[in-house]
Chains A and B, each alone.
Chain A
Amino acid sequence: MDVAGRDRTRALALALPALVVFAAFWLLPMVRLLHVGASGPGGIAAYAAVVTDAQYFKSLVSTVALSAATTVATLALSLVAGLFLQRNRFPGRSLLVSMLTLPLAFPGVVVGFLVILFAGRQGLVGDLAEWLFGEKLVFAYGMTGLFTGYLYFSIPRVILTLMASIEKLDPALEEAARSLGASTWQVTRDVILPALRPAMLSSGAICFATAMGAFGTAFTLATQINVLPITIYNEFTNYANFPMAAALSIVLGFITWAVLALARSASGAGVAAAA
């Protein structure tokens, strides 16, 4: 073998340790998970239970609805704030930008706790509402609280991606549209939004997939919230129904993977979920 060929083989061999670790601790366990999922009384039908069983189906629908609502709200808010911060220069701007990225490293449990401080029984919103309307407002411990938490969690991730693409927009295009008489709304709809489409698709997909699979926030707020990750957790820990927990988590994993893969092929950019 010539030198170049030997170097190529050596370079390939350097991937072996990672491959071995990955195969032993992810691929093999996943095969086992697939197998356990089909080992219940219903056999392979367990994989369809998420649509055939009314309770699991309800759980799936509410998880999808919550994730979709989170994605839409996050994209809308991040787009407005991202455009504003990228297009205007004012004192304190960089402070605001760093504020927006602060929660990037907070795990779901911490976000859940912050939602409790914000809208829980002793929360800020409740006190403000009591002071303003004479009635306490508490929404931390249900779907609204979870939505608040996911919004908190998603905005920093989405806003960073959007700001990076807004920076790359060519201002000349907008000026051209304006000089041709386009209104601000027309410029936004016909120039800015189409140019940001790949970034919105990829960050929206990450946001959706993360919300579908998130566990920590719901766990902190209430273990009775009916979303799929909590359902899986309860099946596994409280009912020791391993086959159903396995089947449901495979289905959930397939959904989040498919959303990310679809968004990637549609946007042409690299998409990976962030936990």
Chain B
Amino acid sequence: MSARARPPRFWVQAAITLAVCAFLVVPVGLSILAGLTENFFVGLRSGLTLRWLGEVWSLYAGTVGMSVGIALGCLAVTLAIGVPAAYSLSRVQNRWTRLFEELLVLPVAIPGLATALALILLYGGWRELRASPVFILVGHVLFTLPFMVRSVLAVMLAVDLRTLEEAAASLGAGFWRRFASVVLPNAMPGILAGSLMVVTLSLGEFNLTWMLHTPLTRTLPVGLADSYASMRLEIGSAYTLVFFIIIIPLLVAMQWAARRAQPRRA
């Protein structure tokens, strides 16, 4: 059979693949278009405009700042507690550390709604915490921590830290010196990949955030839900466009970093 003569099966597969791609991309295109069109109901004939983006900015600029702030806070916390925890898990592997690793994943394995209800029922009465963005931050840390730990742990296990550390120890480097100058630099690809994942997930988190937010602590996805429910389609679309502009470069960077962090096979 020559390469030119494709069996019918090939074309059926090609058509399904193209249909799946169109299904995933066309709505995004529609949304971008709707956010830039004067009147989506009339269509492109009504002309293109940046007016809706301007309105989004005046209505919802605060949510962008809130989201970026929480995402960076979440990154700081997951770095501070997640990277040391990953090192722990790479150094000591027994029943208890495996159990701990399993437990850490639970906030991802069960619906965010359950975690959010639990947080509200235990800490919701603590007024200062409930009203502060820290309440949302707590939820985001629980949800993103396993991604940081797993990403860093995978790299730590792949680079054979033990041998490197033994070499450093034989030259007289103490525990903390080794942690700072051997462990951290070698785990850097995993730390980078984990960081991008944490920021991306935090910026898009809705399930927990919707339950934990207050009118004064609205994040970008919370604002989006509000605009979908109460604003005209063009404003919702323009707001979604703002979200795409923030999240898509992060997504691309995240995939690049994840590929880089993957252990190379000999």
Contact = CB atoms under 8 A, between A and B. Distances in A.
A104 B248 CA distance: 9
Interface string A215-239: 1100110000000010011001000
B36 to A, nearest CB: 13
B206 A215 contact: yes
B76 interface: no
Nearest to B107: A26
Contacts of A7: 91, 175
Contact of A113 (B80, B236, B247): B236
B255 interface: yes
Interface in B77-135: 77, 80-82, 84-85, 87-89, 91-92, 97, 100, 103-115, 117-119, 121-123
A114 B28 contact: yes
Contact of A122 (B150, B210, B233): B233
A65 B250 CA distance: 34
B245 interface: no
A109 interface: yes
Contact-residue size bin, chain A (C-beta under 8 Å from the other chain): 35 or more
Given A14-B87, A17-B81, A212-B111, A29 B118 contact: yes
A29 B115 contact: yes
Contacts of B20: 77-78, 81, 100, 155
A118 B26 contact: yes
Majority DSSP secondary structure for residues of B touching A? helix
Given A80-B13, A105-B251, A110-B240, A22 B104 contact: yes
B52 interface: no
Majority DSSP secondary structure for residues of A touching B? helix
B245 to A, nearest CB: 12
A184 B9 contact: yes
Contact of B27 (A11, A152, A260): A152
Interface stretch (B55-63, B185-193, B221-229): B221-229
B165 to A, nearest CB: 9
Nearest to A257: B109
B23 A152 contact: yes
B30 A216 contact: no
Contact of B31 (A10, A78, A88, A113): A113
Interface string A78-115: 10110111001000000010011111111111101111
Nearest to B101: A15
B251 A32 contact: no
Interface stretch (A48-56, A130-138, A195-203, A241-249): A241-249
Contact of B13 (A28, A84, A118): A84
Contact of B146 (A78, A80, A96, A272): A272
B149 interface: yes
Nearest to A258: B109
B205 interface: yes
Given A77-B20, A256-B109, A219 B210 contact: yes
A18 B114 contact: no
A116 B23 CA distance: 13
Contacts of B97: 15
A180 interface: no
- Among B14, B18, B204, max chain A CB count under 10 A is at B204
Nearest to A118: B27
Given A25-B142, A107-B206, A114-B27, A33 B109 contact: no
A182 interface: no
Contacts of B14: 84
Contacts of B145: 18, 21-22
Contacts of A107: 204-206, 221, 224
B181 interface: no
B157 to A, nearest CB: 13
A17 B84 CA distance: 9
Given A11-B92, A32-B118, 16 more contacts: A29-B121, A32-B122, A33-B114, A77-B16, A81-B21, A96-B18, A96-B21, A99-B25, A105-B203, A116-B228, A213-B110, A213-B114, A233-B113, A249-B111, A252-B114, A253-B114
